[in-house]
Structure 1
Amino acid sequence: MRTAVITPTAGRHGHLTLQQAGLAAGSCPPEQYVVVSMDDPGLNAVLTGRRPTATIVDCPVRNGKLPLARARNLGAAHALKHGAELLVFLDVDCIPGERLLERYTQVARDLAHHRSLLCGTVAYLPPPDPTGYRLADLPTLAEPHPDRPAPAPGETRDGTDHTLFWSLSFALTADTWHAVGGFCEEYEGYGGEDTDYGQRARTAGVRLTWVGGAPAFHQYHPVSSPPVGHLDDILRNAEIFRSHWGWWPMKGWLDAFADRGLIRWNRSAARWEHAPAAGADATTANPGE
């Protein structure tokens, strides 16, 4: 099964270098390594001369918002054009475990007659020590994220809740990719596009399968909780999602923004919106959705 790894990026070159090293050290190197540049002119210098050999696909950025959905679609289109049978998407921050590609390929073969999104575990790493992360140490540094199923190595588990799908690490066959139809490119910036993709898969009759023994390790970087710096993107993308599916995603973040007085629920319009300036009418109510 010809495998392509697809990674969109805009910066995070140190993280990308370690991802590439993880792929090179794996038990089953990919036939293609497609790195999608979202206005990242320095990528060639980062990737050249290292294994696996990377192909850079350009994805221009419009309006300053990272087009992650469009970048994944462009990466998939390139991989499929060049013969990929299994698409593996990795976030730029994710280092693949030694057997990640081997396990995704094995499970894809086992489930050849069932369209499915294959999702491995993701462990969030602590900050590295001054010498950086060592590939051999990664499994000892963090456990899989507790909010997602974590089957034992060699096992799989059927998923019953497509809202748990996330795009940090997942794989699917070319046939499944065509059945779902790619990521919705209305989403730009931070948040929502992978939750939308999970729902697109559900409505297409595509299963969700959690794969043991296919770990990815998410490299540390500073974050804010809730991600206030991405409030505009989250608010916009949440409304796009609501227009498609009839319910609000990212509810925890929306509630946290409301608790901080940054957004409010507009009863008459039945939508979240920016909170008014101090002194204006700021009556809020949670929609309970």
Structure 2
Amino acid sequence: MAVDPVASIIVPSYRGADRLPQLLDSLAAQQDGTPHFEVVVVVDGADDGSVALLENESRLDLRNMVFPENRGRVAALNAGFEAAGGDVLIRCDDDLVVPPGYVAAHVEAHTSSGTIGVVGPTRDIHAPSAYARAYGEDAARKSLAHALSRPPQERWRLWAASCSITRETWESVGRYDDRYRGYGWEDVDYGYRLRSAGIPIDVVEALTAEHHGPARNAGARSVKAFEAGAARSTFRQLHPEAPIGELAAGNGVWGLGVRLTAATMRSRRAAERVGGCIDRMLPLVPRPLGRKLAALAVESAGIAGATRSVDEERRAR
């Protein structure tokens, strides 16, 4: 007789054939006594072998949904959440490796704490490289420390790759907002909507997962920053009352450098080119200088993306 799952893990996946095996291995290794859970993987078009991999998975109670074309992460998340059968709904990106107590800790948090949102922090895992030594590893440490130190009123900003709510909360707060078309901020938007509904958010250190899909170089990281800057502008348009300001370059020589560099980034491709130039410099310069150069590219790209988004909005009026 089939047993209804206590928890559902929703995994949005785009070209994830190389990433999914590590996630599935870690889910299959959950500790003894873990409540029954299912895994719902949404393959967001462009099947790269992911479907065959999922169909051959026999260790887990797993279902897959396949979009015939790429529809984006928001659509994949909404489809997965709506198809899920558990009472605890866990969003988990396909490039994570989760700890053995992952599912049990998510379920326990909702069982013991009433109506809450739960955030599992992530720790970026970098392969050795000039970028990792100069910028990536340090940024990863700071990001994890930041997540673990946030006061309750700021935790909505952390809603991201590993988080959970109950089915009741999903039905109350609703779907992820499909007005976010590119990379980033659909999660922060959902965290803010939880906050606005009066639902507290807990950050549970025991849920810390390894993130094996961070940007591998300054070019890729600059592209993400550019797209996130544009998405941040979308968030500010949708939630003008939210306690978040505009991205600012700052003052002094550093601020001037950021503004001048941002002015050269008229497009996603331009941001990638600037980051790529810095990647070529990183093996040749001292690490402290390399860190500054990578930070310059990333900060500038974020401001450039936000500026472009605002300009496009004004032209559309």
TM-score, normalized by length of structure 1? 0.72
Residues 82-110 of structure 1 deviation map (CA, whole Å, 9 limit, x = unaligned): x3100011111111111011111111100
Q: How many angstroms apart in 2 are the aligned matches of 1:259 and 1:149? A: 32
Aligned to 2:37: 31
Task: Report SS of the residue matched to 2:103.
Answer: helix
TM superposition shift of 1:61 = 4.6
Pairing partner for 1:106 from 105, 108, 116: 108
In the alignment, residue 125 of structure 1 is paired with which amino acid? Answer: I
Pairing partner for 2:73 from 40, 63, 68: 68
Cα 1:145/1:258, change in 2 over 3 Å:
farther
Q: Does 1:7 align with 2:11?
A: yes
Pairing partner for 2:54 from 44, 47, 52: 47
Q: Does 1:173 align with 2:166?
A: yes
Task: Report SS of the residue matched to 2:121.
Answer: strand
Aligned to 2:127: 127
Cα 1:53/1:223, change in 2 over 3 Å:
farther
Q: How many angstroms apart in 1 are the aligned matches of 2:181 and 2:43? A: 15
Aligned to 1:251: 247
Q: How many angstroms apart in 2 are the aligned matches of 1:144 and 1:69? A: 24
Q: How many angstroms apart in 2 are the aligned matches of 1:252 and 1:52? A: 47
Aligned to 2:152: 159
Aligned to 2:295: none
Q: Does 1:58 align with 2:58?
A: no
Q: How many angstroms apart in 2 are the aligned matches of 1:240 and 1:143? A: 26
Q: Is the 8 A contact 2:46 2:69 kept in 1?
A: no
Q: How many angstroms apart in 1 are the aligned matches of 2:246 and 2:73? A: 17
Q: Is the 8 A contact 1:69 1:184 kept in 2?
A: yes
Aligned to 1:280: none
Pairing partner for 1:77 from 74, 82, 88: 82
Cα 1:207/1:54, change in 2 over 3 Å:
same
Greater Cα shift, 208-217 or 243-252: 243-252
User: Which runs of 5 or more residues in structure 2 are unaligned?
Assistant: 129-140, 250-254, 268-305, 312-317
User: Which runs of 5 or more residues in structure 1 are unaligned?
Assistant: 129-141, 151-156, 265-270, 277-289
Cα 1:59/1:197, change in 2 over 3 Å:
farther
Residues 120-162 of structure 1 deviation map (CA, whole Å, 9 limit, x = unaligned): 221112328xxxxxxxxxxxxx898122017xxxxxx972214
Q: Is the 8 A contact 1:117 1:208 kept in 2?
A: yes
Q: Is the 8 A contact 1:88 1:170 kept in 2?
A: yes
Q: How many angstroms apart in 1 are the aligned matches of 2:168 and 2:20? A: 28
Aligned to 2:289: none
Task: Report SS of the residue matched to 1:37.
Answer: strand
Q: Does 1:229 align with 2:234?
A: no
Aligned to 1:145: 144
Q: Is the 8 A contact 1:89 1:168 kept in 2?
A: yes
Residues 23-75 of structure 1 deviation map (CA, whole Å, 9 limit, x = unaligned): 0001227521101111132222122222214211234556xxx6212211110
Greater Cα shift, 219-228 or 198-207: 219-228
Cα 1:259/1:74, change in 2 over 3 Å:
same
Q: Is the 8 A contact 1:228 1:257 kept in 2?
A: no
Cα 1:237/1:30, change in 2 over 3 Å:
farther
Q: How many angstroms apart in 1 are the aligned matches of 2:191 and 2:30? A: 28
CA RMSD between the two structures? 3.4
Cα 1:3/1:252, change in 2 over 3 Å:
farther
Q: Going by fraction, where is strand more abundant, 1 or 2?
A: 1
Aligned to 1:116: 116
Q: How many angstroms apart in 2 are the aligned matches of 1:35 and 1:199? A: 25
TM superposition shift of 1:165 = 1.9
TM superposition shift of 1:231 = 6.6
Aligned to 1:135: none
Aligned to 1:273: 308
TM superposition shift of 1:192 = 1.5
Q: Is the 8 A contact 1:159 1:209 kept in 2?
A: yes
